[in-house]
Structure 1
Amino acid sequence: MFTIIFLEFIRSGTIKSFSTCRNGRWASHGAARHKKEAVNTLYTTGIKLRWVLCKSVNRGILQTQSKRRGYYGCDRSSESAKQIFCTGSGYIYFNRKRFRCICPVFGFTKRLILVTHIQHQQLDFKKWDALILRTPDADPFLLSSWLNVAAPGWSALVANDYEAVFPVFSAKKMLWSFFDLPNFIQKIGIYGAEGFEKEFASQLHALHTSIDFICYVTDSVLGDTHIENRPRRHQLLQLKEGVRFPTKVWGRNIRKAEAAALTEITAVPADIFVQALKHELIERGRPYAEKDYQKLLRLAKESSAAGYGFIEGIKDETGTFTCGQFYLYITGKIYLVACFSNEKAREHSLLHYLLYKIIQQKYEQDTTMRVHFGGSNIPVIADFNKNFGATDEEFVLVYKNNLPFLLRLVKHA
């Protein structure tokens, strides 16, 4: 059980209004013409609080009173706190930058962090994208323009003022709730500043308890010990020593492509790429649903128009595309979304050659680049990725299935 208190301030320094939420019920409180001073340091006796109420503003100090004994007093600062969050454990978090909670009795300090589940309509996409672009391990498929197509209505856990984020893909269908990783999004994790793992893990655990079906890949540090965690691996290539693919397979395949004189790389139109991929997947018996091909086509067109998506391929002597690869690239990171190849491309190892040349070209422009192959637990795909020197990176599949028996037959990991 917890209460959230929202405070709104106007520029003159008076409290405009505040609202409280207890057990999902909101109550709004009118304007209070009191001077405010924003929050910097909180003083507490260390008593665990079940919930807090806004008490008064006294001499520029905002105070909150617990239903039990003891209260929190808020000292003066130039920063303004718009949200106060008190959990059942007695910790208080703020939506501003990191504050300290000081206990004069026991003499300890605790960093104050607010992790909020923000719904899609309230997300600040500019702040989101700025964070993704500057975070080294954040892949291009986490940009808001990609997520808006791949997972309409997505939400996020946000620490403070977008210091760190974790994307959430939850939805309600009929009587059941789902948190399922959408197609074309490989994995999710905490992106941004470090040191928020415990707070995000706690919020995720609380979120998991209310969801019937959960299936997403994340970092092992965020695995929920209360539900099933299955090992997963992706392949990543760190180009610390330049474009050097130190395997015999690589050299042999490059020479095969060069011997066949099939080395001219050209852009592939998005509709041709999706149609060729669809044809190959149907042949292999692993097709997407029709709506997913349409989604992939839209993703390809919109990411290309935005400047971070591109599709390259190799034609044969008749002008037919033998293979194609769809990439996302932002500074420091390149991600292989999908690829197709026909019999001639497989005969002459053109996918190997194409990937090598694309990475080589990008590396000349960006020596900090790392390559995310998407990865797989299927040995033949993992081996293909490792031919280029990629190594495994371990993750976990967080899984829970409390759906009715008949639904579990068709909806599973």
Structure 2
Amino acid sequence: MIKRLKYDEIDFVKYQKSLSEACQLSDFARKDFLNIVAGKNWGLLIYKDYEAVMPIAWSSNFGIKIIQMPALCHQLGIFSKVDDPEVNLSFFEFLKKNFAISFYAFNKDNGFPVDTQKKKSYLLPKNNYEDVKKKYHIHRRRNVRHTEDIQTNAEFNNKIDFNTHVEDFFLQNVRGIDKMPLKKVYWNTVMKLIETGLMETFTVKYKGNIQSFVAMYCGEETDYLSMFINSSQLENKNLPSIAIDYQLQKCIEEKSFDFMGSNVPSVASFNERFGAKEYFFSIISHQKLNIISKIIKLVFTKNR
């Protein structure tokens, strides 16, 4: 019922047709996006003749493939004309049975007939900016005011000169990524997405110094806050709020805005104060010990 296809085996005409007819948002499943963030280290699980498709990506360690989400890829999952929880479960079980999985995120429109691990994100549906702003928490409305200080000292740069200074700010202040080689992978990925028109960025300077770096992945119906990097020594504590408000003024009437979620309470609170509503999507997440155990089991089964 479920079949695995390597990258070179994919019929990309059929794949694109499946995505274009899908009832789920497929922004992160696009071939051009996945080619940038995963190279050819991705493939497909398909149901029947591309009636439903599920892109998967992996990293290779000592020749062993481990399923994980590529850099800046928020959600993948199953794409089909009608979301069928039973078919989704077949994909879910096939993935768990046949692969060692570090982390895989389904999309928010995938339903399952069983309980699954969940992760949350925050979404602002598209609307008139003034109506969106009315739903800000009272403290957030106060935070985003352009005071005389902000008008005098803050500078928003939509056309960034990607010189060493900007890259240094990125590498020094990006959080959640410990190792420098991985930080550079993210930086290079951002640069490639910008070059292909899939990502827009801007910086916020204060008194001539970069304080915030914002990178938005441009989906068809939604913009995604892919990277939001603030200085570890902010000179004005309101600048992160002002940066997001600045982006919402530009996009919220045309597209929804996805904060791309966080389980960190302070980040969740930051998102909620813009009036964003939480939503949940299914994931598979395993610790290193479980991954090693699964690899041993797969190798043993293969060699029997």
CA distance in 1, matches of 2:102, 2:50: 25
* 1:385 aligned residue: 271
Between the aligned residues of both structures, percent identity stands at 17
Matched, 1:188 2:55: no
Q: Deviations over 1:288-323 (max 9, x none)?
A: 4333223222322222222221111122333x3221
> More strand by proportion, 1 or 2?
1
Aligned to 1:32: none
Within 5 Å, which residues of 2 pair with 1:156-195? 156-159=44-47, 162-170=50-58, 173-174=61-62, 177-195=65-83
Aligned to 2:300: none
Matches within 5 A, 1:21-100: none
Residue aligning to 1:328: 217
AA in 1 matched with 2:98:
S
Q: Secondary structure at the match of 1:347?
A: coil
Matched ranges for 1:306-317 at <5 A: 306-317=196-207
Deviation at 1:167, TM superposition (A): 1.4
Question: Could you tell me which residue of structure 1 aligns to residue 123 of structure 2?
Answer: 236
What is aligned with 1:375?
261
Deviates more, 1:147-156 or 1:343-352: 343-352
**Which structure would you say has the larger Rg?**
1
* Partner Cα separation in structure 2 for residue 136 and residue 333 of structure 1: 15
| Equivalent residue for 1:268, pick from 160, 163, 166 | 160
Instruction: Give the C-alpha shift of residue 205 in structure 1.
Output: 1.0
| Counterparts of 2:185 and 2:235, CA distance in 1 | 27
Higher relative contact order (CA 8 A, sep 6+): 2
Which structure is higher in helix share? Answer: 2
User: C-alpha distance in 1, partners of 2:23/2:275?
Assistant: 20
Task: Measure how far apart 1:189 and its partner are.
Answer: 1.9
Alignment partner, residue 143 of structure 1 = 30
Residues 1-16 of structure 1: pairs in structure 2 closer than 5 A: none
Kindly indicate whether the alpha-carbon contact (under 8 Å) linking 2:101 and 2:284 is maintained by their aligned counterparts in 1: no
Q: CA deviation at 1:131?
A: 5.4
Q: Deviations over 1:182-209 (max 9, x none)?
A: 3322222223411443224213312321
Distance 1:298 1:250 in 2: 33
2:247 to 342, 353, 358: 358
Consecutive unaligned residues of structure 1, counting only runs of 5 or more, are: 1-86, 88-114, 408-413
How far is 1:137 from its partner? 4.8
Question: Alpha carbons of 1:345 and 1:117: their partners in 2 closer, same or farther (altered >3 Å)?
Answer: same
Distance 1:287 1:202, change over 3 A: closer
| 324 and 294 in structure 1: CA distance in 2 versus 1, 3 angstrom threshold | same
- The number of aligned residues is 283
Q: In the alignment, what sits opposite 1:395?
A: 281
Structure 1 segment 331-342 matched on structure 2, within 5 A: 331-342=220-231
Distance 1:127 1:252, change over 3 A: farther
Distance 1:223 1:298 in 2: 39
Task: Give the Cα separation in 2 of the matches to 1:322 and 1:402.
Answer: 39
Residue pair 2:21, 2:81 contacting (<8 A) in 1 also: no
Q: Secondary structure at the match of 2:266?
A: helix
Change (3 A) 1:273 1:315: same
